[in-house]
A and B are shown apart, each in its own frame.
Chain A
């Protein structure tokens, strides 16, 4: 015992030293380029320490998990939604559900402030805020038979907080879908290779759907293997289409792609799940995990050098071209997923809590999966920072600023203080077989360039174009899956709400209601998508901050619910665990909304921008980058709508927190903990390890429960002496 303790101290000392050295190099080296390896070391060492010490402290002291208490999966096991699931398998499901395009796109945009602020926020933010939120919400939902965040907000805070939470969820869904669709538009516009390969995913998914439904029911792996093969063939074929007579048919304008996506979103969401969504889901999940693993290997093999500055001048001036605003609060808004993502609280209070075997497993599934997502974000910021800064700004500055030729773009980038010649810009586009890379905003093309450099460095330089389109396709693939799934979730909420007014709406199978609610949801995100595509100021520049604010608003709701639950349970002394991240998140989100609403700098404040363009419009003038009076009108309308939304988000946060504060005061004044809404405890008869690897003690318990049979595979077991249910 003494020896293993000494060994453990030695190991953790080494981890701490490695982490400290890596952090020192990342943070302090100036004027020379550092290797990306230091970011990886700093991240991994910090995660390990946080998981081992902080997460364990929260689980044991704050939440007081109790493995003698049966989880809903054990008590309510019905073989459908409630089902004890191996922790490693559930980790895979949970991670696949929380990780998407967000942690890849946000860090790319935030790289305009330099790699240092983003990296610090991704790592520190996940340890103290993001992973804590995911784990704590998972725990509280698990103690309540898997109640959703909205239900918990209503039950714990009250009807006002509940309605505000519901509104927050719905509006973030709409903005999220619009922004993600916008990323796809910017990645595919005028690119026949990308458009062809993505279009091919539809027949591939349909084929997989029929195969799985009719020919080989349940053979998911076999079907997915066929699908992935076809997908790779589609990417290769895209290269030939690009050079053939078909190229024109697949060269679409941004507006055309936006309409295709809107039509796709509607049709996909009214088709049965098995036809399109389920097979797409398998494809994108396996692709996602595969590509993330490839990226990690690629970075470790090639050890690229950071070209980006640690901190750029835009961090303090707030005049960056990618998005407006200074480091505080906008880095923390732009990088939502990967550090703290409110959206995750919906997943953590969805299916995951109904499948968890043992209470102590919330640590690996809630905290661990979020650490993994954070690592994905670190890799994304690396991929964006190994690109020449000149190219980065030529790709990410709105088209209105760059003009439409490589010459004008080169000039504009020089004006920002970075260098790239027209020849270099054309060469960079030619290297990946694209017409142009100028103003390919949205993050996906930049990430694809970074990934293609890493992958080409690890394989062959001649494969660069393939890897670029592989990366584009992989991002677009799972964004479309999110668009389909998200439209369904939004529709479900709408059906539920309208069902209170007119009963048949609540019946999900009532076709007219289904079509109407689908059309409403698609229409809502489609409106923002179209406005973003046609916005002369650049859709990403205008909409991404709103998406970040909405996501952090949802995080504020989740952290408020968690803090309320801690205080109501008489754990005021531990309330800082979620209270401090809540205070930080509220400060960030409210400052950002305040600036977006009230700032008198036209690039930053929506209403200042509106006034500036409205005034010019009244005088019949056209202000750059607008090119016509119609453009001017579009800017005025968009700025007004976006400004109102930013204000609405701020009001929602204030309402939720104020309503919760009322409950906090009541709970603190009460001598006893307030009545709990937890399901009463029942004794557990399941044995399963809590961490990734079973401890010696757990192995002995398992061997006892399994009758001594140690085997690979599911190592959880039911104790032999089962008592009746």
Chain B
């Protein structure tokens, strides 16, 4: 494995863990499952996603 591959692996992992790729996945999901329907902008999507956390709080352990 070259250094470049390792770096891209780390970058992939951090983006996934942080949820930065959620929007890309949503766009893919929306295009695949609901073709022809409008797709939310990133701003709207992230807002929806953050606000959804309000309704289902997740515990952090000790």
Question: Which residues of chain A have a CB within 8 Å of any CB of chain B?
Answer: 77, 79-81, 83, 86, 88-89, 92-93, 97-103, 173, 176, 180, 212-213, 217-221, 224, 272-274, 277-278, 281-282, 336-337, 341, 343-344, 346-347, 350-351, 478, 481-482, 485-486, 488-489, 491-492, 508-509, 551, 712-714
For residue A372, give the distance in angstroms from its CB to the closest CB of chain B: 13
CB pair B18–A713 under 8 Å, yes or no, is: no
A508 to B56, CA, bound (A): 9
Q: Which residues of A contact B45 (CB under 8 A)?
A: 217-218
Nearest opposing residue in chain A for B44, CB measure: A217
CB pair A337–B62 under 8 Å, yes or no, is: yes
Q: Which residues of B contact A273 (CB under 8 A)?
A: 50-51, 53-54
Q: Which residues of B contact A81 (CB under 8 A)?
A: 56
CB pair B8–A486 under 8 Å, yes or no, is: no
Q: Which residues of A contact B26 (CB under 8 A)?
A: 79
Nearest opposing residue in chain B for A104, CB measure: B62
**Residue from A92, A102, A212 within 8 A of B61 (CB atoms):** A102
Q: Which residues of B contact A489 (CB under 8 A)?
A: 57-59
With A97-B60, A272-B54, A350-B58 already in contact, 8 other A-B pairs whose C-beta atoms are closer than 8 Å: A99-B61, A100-B61, A218-B46, A221-B18, A272-B51, A346-B61, A508-B54, A712-B12
CB pair A712–B62 under 8 Å, yes or no, is: no
Tell me the chain B residues, 17-57 only, with Cβ under 8 Å from chain A: 17-20, 22-23, 25-26, 29-30, 42-43, 45-47, 49-57
A212 to B46, CA, bound (A): 9
Nearest opposing residue in chain B for A103, CB measure: B62
Q: Which residues of A contact B29 (CB under 8 A)?
A: 77, 79
**Residue from B18, B46, B56, B60 within 8 A of A217 (CB atoms):** B46
CB pair B62–A218 under 8 Å, yes or no, is: no
**Residue from B5, B19, B30, B50 within 8 A of A213 (CB atoms):** B50
CB pair B57–A485 under 8 Å, yes or no, is: yes
Q: Could you pull out 20 A-B pairs where Cβ atoms are within 8 angstroms? A: A79-B29, A97-B58, A97-B59, A99-B61, A101-B62, A212-B46, A213-B46, A220-B19, A221-B15, A221-B20, A273-B51, A273-B53, A274-B50, A341-B62, A347-B61, A350-B58, A478-B60, A491-B57, A492-B57, A508-B54
Q: Which residues of A contact B15 (CB under 8 A)?
A: 221
CB pair B17–A92 under 8 Å, yes or no, is: yes
Q: A712-B5, A712-B8 are contacts. A486–B16 as well, Cβ < 8 Å?
A: no
Q: Which residues of A contact B54 (CB under 8 A)?
A: 272-273, 508-509
A101 to B60, CA, bound (A): 10
CB pair B52–A80 under 8 Å, yes or no, is: yes
For residue A540, give the distance in angstroms from its CB to the closest CB of chain B: 14
CB pair B62–A274 under 8 Å, yes or no, is: no
Which one of B8, B17, B23, B49 has the greatest number of beta carbons of chain A within 10 Å?
A: B17
Q: Which residues of B contact A102 (CB under 8 A)?
A: 61-62
For residue A59, give the distance in angstroms from its CB to the closest CB of chain B: 23
A221 to B22, CA, bound (A): 13
Q: Which residues of A contact B50 (CB under 8 A)?
A: 213, 272-274, 278
For residue B22, give the distance in angstroms from its CB to the closest CB of chain A: 8
Q: Which residues of A contact B61 (CB under 8 A)?
A: 97-100, 102, 337, 341, 343-344, 346-347, 482
Q: Which residues of B contact A350 (CB under 8 A)?
A: 58-59
CB pair A89–B13 under 8 Å, yes or no, is: yes
A212 to B16, CA, bound (A): 17
